[in-house]
Amino acid sequence: MIESPWWKRTTVYQVYPRSFSDSNADGIGDLPGVIERLDYLRWLGVETIWLSPFYRSPQTDFGYDISDHFDIAPEYGNLADCRRLIDEVHARGMKIVLDMVLNHTSIEHPWFQESRTGRSSPRRDFYLWRDGRRPGGAAPPNNWRSMLGASGWHYDPPSDQWYWASFLPFQPDLNYRNPAVKQAMLDVVRHWLREGADGLRLDIFNAIYKDASFANNPFSLRPLPSEHNPDGFFQQARYTQNHPDTIAFARELRTVVDEFTDPPRFVVGEVFGHSDLLREYCGAEGQGLNLVFLFKSLRTPLTAPALRELVQEFERTFPEPLFPTYVFGNHDRPRGMDRLGNDPARARILAAFQLTVRGVPFLYYGEEIGLGHHHGMPHELARDPIAARYRFLPRWLLPSLRRRGILVNRDECRSPMPWDSGTHAGFSTGETPWLPVHPDSPLINVAAQREDPGSVLSSYRRMLALRRHSPALSDGALAIIEPLADPRRVLAFARLHPRETARVYLNLSDRELPLDLRDAPGIRLHSNLHDPPEPATGRRLLAPWEAVVIFDTAEFAS
Ligand code: GLC
């Protein structure tokens, strides 16, 4: 029987390098810091690490504004550190995913600097420059809005033209209709794959192509965009996002990625839209992006019916050879613990769900210890460039936006990783970390949880090990188990693999519930709450928020 490619079986842990571990006491996390923590990640049991960008950049958007794709920002280290990181990850049998910001560069990138010297610059056409509707900066070329709501056109007085930026004004979009641009960016992709990246995460991939007509976007009634509909700010994103040429480009990019076969590589796209559109990025036969983030999981309530519906939708939309992803947080979103009422029991069951369902789990650093959202970051002092743009928003609006998954101060989810209860939670020995540590860090930190079998960390580690050793959990098909005695409280599914079957029961309630295994016994039962497996026969109670996995084999089939 043919095993799925490694990237379908893996588990991914996102490191935000600036906030992970500071090795040189400047208050900023760095690559040597990440290297120092690799043994921890290996101990935890994650298999792949994705790092947010660490390339040379003015850091106005903390690395998502690149000024040199082939160099490292000095605050994070140098090229030698980067190579050492890649080697050290591989030496531990793990894989590494790098962030690729293909859509735009920094305004400080030499291409843009040259492009803006004038209309006849040889690099003018590397970016999207247009005349305004009236001369003199009075009216932008059309009505297109950026992803953040304001017009995405920015006026350049010397040339009396406007450049387009899908995100912030200092992140001008590249012009992929210029073959030289596409070639140059595919060279960046090849460069990092050659350097040893096992996968690439594609930043706002859905914005790559803009419509060549530059026609106005049609009117829409929607005030705000969401995960499944990028229309918002009262216009459809018809000509600015999810362009058919971007979907075609996904396939082209895949052929480049597939040039690298030892090991095979993969790309995961940050794209927004309804599931059918997201599937198009992957291609019906899986010939596009290997994976796309399915952000719907970020906002799904932690109840059995809601999770069942989510799984059914993802299974319907991403059948083999396609494959879903499960994400509960990242460096742009409210931390998952916020939605869980900071309840460790809920954090443990969410982990059990994420690590037993069919799909690649993406964990965000700190989730494994139940790190909370940092509500105390003062908006006025925010480092996040988005916060400054939304300074005018009344404070009372922020919680409701947060509930919709929208963060206007992303500092709140980027606080330093709490390693221990010491100064700055062990993140830095410097004077001041770049962001304040979470006030709960003295209690919620790695050292405090490592030896405690009941901790969130131990539960993650237990479930990661279970998944890693189980062909069914890492590579099996999924079938919902129905009917159930209590479908409103319990979610149950089977993971089916020729070598073993695993049945998963998740008690998504704070009640004890009976689990009757007399008609469907198994051999071993593993709980997310404690270690040694139990015999899986007879009757048993499911503790509140407990997950159990029942195998039909005595040992893991290897
Ligand atoms: C993506 C990144 C975000 C960044 C933006 C612009 O959404 O995740 O952090 O600010 O793109 O590159």
Residue by residue, what is the 3-state secondary structure of 11-42?
Answer: CEEEECHHHCCCCCCCCCCCHHHHHHCHHHHH
Which ligand 1 atom is at minimum distance from the Cα of 410?
9
pLDDT tens digits along 158-168:
999 999 999 99
Residue 253 near residue 267, CB atoms below 8 Å: yes
Mutate-to-test residue for ligand 1 from 204, 205, 330, 362, highest number of ligand atoms within 8 A of CB: 204
- Kindly state the tokens that stand for 207: 């914005």
Walk across the sheet containing 534-535 and list its strands: 477-480, 490-497, 500-507, 547-551, 524-527, 534-535
Rounded distance from Cα 58 to ligand 1 centre (Å):
15
225 vs 232: CA distance, rounded Å: 4
3-state SS track over 244-307: HHHHHHHHHHHHHHCCCECCECEEEECCCCCHHHHHHHHCCCCCCCCEECCCHHHHCCCCHHHH
Q: For a pocket test of ligand 1, which of 15, 147, 203, 271 has the largest count of ligand atoms closer than 8 A to its C-beta?
A: 203
Atom of ligand 1 nearest to the CA of 61: 10
CB 398 within 8 A of CB 380: no
Distance CA 229, CA 219 (A): 14
Mutate to test the pocket of ligand 1, among 332, 333, 386 (most ligand atoms within 8 A of CB): 332
Residue 460 identity: Y
Please give the distance, rounded to the nearest whole angstrom, from the Cα atom of residue 409 to the centre of ligand 1. 13
pLDDT band at 395 (very low <50, low <70, confident <90, very high): confident
pLDDT in tens, 293-308: 999 999 999 999 999 9
Does the structure show a pLDDT above 70 at 1?
A: no
Cβ(328)–Cβ(298) under 8 Å?
A: yes
Name 127's bridge partners: 174
346 pLDDT band, cuts 50/70/90, is very high
**CA 64 to ligand 1 center in whole angstroms:** 6
Nearest to 347 by CA among 449, 507, 487, 457: 457
Dist. CA 529 → ligand 1 center (Å):
36
Which residues line ligand 1 at a C-beta cut-off of 6 Å?
Answer: 61, 64, 101, 167, 203-204, 270, 331-332
CA distances to 291, 376, 382, 395, 414 from 436, rounded to whole Å, are: 34, 9, 11, 21, 9
Per-residue pLDDT, 212: 98
Contacts of 125 (CB under 8 A, 6+ apart): 115, 175, 178, 181
CA 386/CA 58 separation, integer angstroms: 16
Among 268, 201, 266, 234, smallest CA distance to 52 is for 201
Residue 557 has pLDDT above 90, yes or no: no
Look at ligand 1, atom 2, and give the residue with the nearest C-alpha.
Answer: 203
Residues sharing a CB contact under 8 Å with residue 2, sequence separation 6 or more, in sequence order: none
Distance from the CA of 203 to the center of ligand 1, in angstroms? 6
Residue nearest to atom 7 of ligand 1 (CA): 204
Is the bond preceding 321 in cis, omega lying within 30 degrees of 0? yes
Would you say residue 108 has pLDDT above 80? Answer: yes
CA distance 518 to 523: 12
Q: Locate the ligand 1 atom nearest the alpha carbon of residue 103 and give its number.
A: 12
Residues 6+ apart with CB under 8 A from 394: none
Question: What are the Cα distances from residue 108, in Å, to 56, 65, 341?
Answer: 10, 9, 42
Residue 558's pLDDT band (cuts 50, 70, 90): low
Q: How high does pLDDT run on average in the chain?
A: 96
Q: Which phi-psi region, left, alpha or beta, contains residue 336 (left: φ > 0; alpha: ψ -120 to 50)?
A: alpha
pLDDT at 556 over 90: no
Can you read off the two tokens belonging to residue 7? Answer: 């990237």
What is the average per-residue pLDDT within 355-384?
95
Query: Which atom of ligand 1 approaches the CA of 386 most closely?
Result: 10
Cβ neighbours around 375 below 10 Å, total = 15
Q: Per-residue pLDDT averaged across 337-342, rounded? A: 94
Query: What average pLDDT does this structure show over 405-429?
Result: 96
Average pLDDT over residues 186-208: 98
Cα(292) to centroid(ligand 1), Å: 15
Tell me the DSSP string of 201-255: EETTGGGS---TT-PPPPB-S-SS-BTTB--BTTB--TTTSS-HHHHHHHHHHHH
Determine the residue of 50, 64, 109, 411 to mutate for testing ligand 1's pocket, defined as the one with the most ligand atoms within 8 A of the Cβ atom. Answer: 64
Centre of ligand 1 to C-alpha 62, Å, is: 9
Determine the pLDDT at residue 19: 98
**Alpha carbon distance, N-terminus to C-terminus of the chain:** 13
What lies within 8 Å, CB to CB, of 122 at 6+ separation is 114
74: phi then psi, degrees, rounded to nearest 5: -55, -30
Check 47, 203, 411, 500 and give the catalytic one. 203
Q: Is 259 a catalytic residue?
A: yes
Residue 380 reports pLDDT greater than 90: no
* Closest residue to atom 4 of ligand 1, CA basis: 64
Residue 202's DSSP bridge partners are 100, 269
| 515-533 pLDDT tens trace | 999 988 899 999 999 999 9
Tens of pLDDT, residues 44-78: 999 999 999 999 999 999 999 999 999 999 999 99
Residue 309 Cα to ligand 1 middle (Å): 29
pLDDT tens track for 316-328: 999 999 999 999 9
* Active-site residue flag, 173: no
Tokens, residue 74: 């000095």
State the catalytic residue, choosing from 259, 276, 320, 516.
Answer: 259
% the chain with pLDDT above 90? 92
- Give the residue whose CA is nearest to atom 5 of ligand 1: 64
